[in-house]
C-alpha cells in the first residue's frame, strides 16, 4: 500500500496539474470506486460537476482536493489506486474507475484501481481531533501551522481543516501540526511493540511496513521492543530516523516494487534502490555485514539486522 512518500508525490503532481481547474463532467465507471459516498455513483457524479479544485492536501496516506463550501473530494489509493493526468482523448485503460474532465478542455484526471480497494468520496471539512496531552511532565510546544492549513491565535492552536472521515487520524511527521512531545508520550503509553505502534495511524500517520523497518534499522531499535521501555533519547533518535527516511524516499519519488504505484504521469519511484533492510532477507547489513533477518509480523514481514537491532528479552511479539 502506498505510504506517505508515494501519496505526497501524487499530491504534489495533482497540485501542479489539477488545482485551479473546474470539473466539467465526472463519470463513475465502477460503483465500488465511490462505495463510501452516501449519494451513490449518480449523486457523486452530479455533485462534482462545476466544482473547482482549490487545493490538493494530504495527511498520512490520504489525500484530498479542497472544494468550495467547506467540502473536499477525499481519495484513498488502497493497494493499487492511481490518479493519472493525461490527454483527455487517450483510450480508457481497463481499470479506470472514475474520470474527471475539466471546463478548460485540458488534461483529464482518471482514478485507476486494479484491485478496487481504493475509493473516492465527497465529505465535509472540519477541525482535526486534538491530540492527547503529553505525559513527560512538561507542556508540549505548539507547532506553527502552514499557510492555508490552519493558524494560531496567540498561544492557542487552531485546528487544521481536514475531511471528517479522517479527523481522528494523527498528524504525520512531516506536517507542521505534528507535535514530537505528544507523540513521544503517547508512544510510551501504548505498551506494545514499537513497529506495531508505528503502524497505528491514530498515533502517527503515513508510516507503513516498508518505512517502519527502514526507520527502525536507522535508529538501531528492534521492531518488537516494548514501547514503554523507550527512553526519551531513543524516541528522539527514532523520530529523526523516521523523518530522514520519509524525506529521502520523497525525493526519490517513493518506492515502486511493481507497476501499481506510479505518480500522476505514470512514472515509478526509485527509493527501492536505497532500502537497507526491507525485502533484503539474507543479504549483508550495510553497517555490520550480518545477514538481514525476516520475521513474520501481523500477516506480513519485519526485517532487521540481528546485530544492529538485537531482540529485547521482554519483546512484544
Helix, strand, or coil (residue 204): coil
Helix axes 232-251, 4-17, angle to 10 degrees: 40
Residues 261, 254 contacting (CB under 8 angstroms) = yes
Annotation says 3 is catalytic: yes
Residues 33, 74 contacting (CB under 8 angstroms) = no
In this prediction the pTM is: 0.82
Which of 3.20.190.10, 3.40.50.1370, 3.40.50.850, 3.60.15.10 would CATH assign to domain 4-125?
A: 3.20.190.10
Using one digit for the tens of pLDDT, what is the confidence trace for 6-16? 888 889 889 99
User: CATH 1.10.8.50 region(s) of the chain?
Assistant: 164-304
Using one digit for the tens of pLDDT, what is the confidence trace for 69-84? 799 999 998 888 889 9
| Fold entry, domain 164-304 | Helicase, Ruva Protein; domain 3 (1.10.8)
Spatial separation of the C-alpha atoms in residues 135 and 188, rounded to whole Å = 9
DSSP 145: P
- The catalytically annotated residue of 115, 191, 232, 300 is 300
- The catalytically annotated residue of 11, 58, 59, 61 is 61
- The catalytically annotated residue of 3, 8, 71, 214 is 3
* DSSP calls for 114-143: SS---EEEEEEEEEPPPPPPP-SSSPPPPP
Using one digit for the tens of pLDDT, what is the confidence trace for 23-58? 999 999 999 999 999 999 999 999 999 999 999 999
Burial 220-254 (b: 16+ CB within 10 A, else e): bbbbbbbbeebeeebbebbbebbeebbeebbebbb
User: CATH 3.20.190.10 region(s) of the chain?
Assistant: 4-125
Using one digit for the tens of pLDDT, what is the confidence trace for 214-233? 999 999 999 999 999 999 99
Average pLDDT over residues 255-260: 46
Cβ neighbors of 198 (< 8 A, separation 6 or more) are 204, 207, 212, 215, 216, 242
- The catalytically annotated residue of 2, 5, 157, 171 is 2
Amino acid at each position: 500500500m502506498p505510504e506517505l512518500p508515494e501519496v505526497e508525490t501524487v499530491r504534489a503532481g495533482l497540485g501542479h496539474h489539477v488545482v485551479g481547474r473546474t470539473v466539467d463532467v465526472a463519470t463513475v465507471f465502477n460503483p465500488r470506486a465511490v462505495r463510501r459516498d452516501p449519494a451513490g455513483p449518480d449523486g457523486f457524479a452530479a455533485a462534482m460537476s462545476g466544482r473547482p479544485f482549490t487545493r490538493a492536501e494530504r495527511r498520512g496516506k490520504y489525500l484530498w482536493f479542497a472544494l468550495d463550501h467547506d467540502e473536499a473530494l477525499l481519495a484513498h489509493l488502497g493497494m493499487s489506486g492511481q490518479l493519472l493526468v493525461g490527454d483527455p482523448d487517450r483510450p480508457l485503460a481497463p481499470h479506470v474507475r472514475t474520470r474527471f474532465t475539466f471546463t478548460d478542455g485540458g488534461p483529464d484526471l482518471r482514478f485507476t484501481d486494479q484491485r478496487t480497494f481504493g475509493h473516492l468520496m465527497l465529505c465535509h471539512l472540519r477541525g482535526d481531533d486534538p491530540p492527547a496531552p503529553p505525559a513527560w511532565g512538561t507542556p508540549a510546544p505548539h507547532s506553527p501551522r502552514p499557510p492555508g492549513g490552519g493558524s494560531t491565535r496567540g498561544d492557542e492552536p487552531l485546528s487544521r481543516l481536514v475531511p471528517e472521515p479522517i479527523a481522528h487520524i494523527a498528524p504525520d511527521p512531516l506536517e507542521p501540526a505534528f507535535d514530537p512531545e505528544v507523540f513521544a508520550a503517547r508512544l510510551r503509553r501504548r505498551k506494545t511493540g514499537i513497529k506495531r505502534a508505528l503502524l497505528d495511524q491514530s498515533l502517527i500517520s503515513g508510516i507503513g511496513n516498508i518505512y517502519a523497518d527502514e526507520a527502525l534499522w536507522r535508529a538501531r531499535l528492534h521492531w518488537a521492543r516494548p514501547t514503554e521501555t523507550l527512553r526519551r533519547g531513543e524516541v528522539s533518535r527514532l523520530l529523526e530516523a523516521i523523518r530522514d527516511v520519509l524525506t529521502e524516499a520523497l525525493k526519490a519519488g517513493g518506492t515502486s516494487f511493481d507497476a501499481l504505484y506510479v505518480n500522476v504521469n505514470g512514472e515509478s519511484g526509485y527509493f527501492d534502490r536505497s532500502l537497507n533492510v526491507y525485502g533484503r532477507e539474507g543479504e549483508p547489513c550495510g553497517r555490520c555485514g550480518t545477514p538481514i533477518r525476516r520475521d513474520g509480523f501481523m500477516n506480513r514481514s519485519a526485517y532487521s539486522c540481528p546485530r544492529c537491532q538485537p531482540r529485547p528479552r521482554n519483546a512484544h511479539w
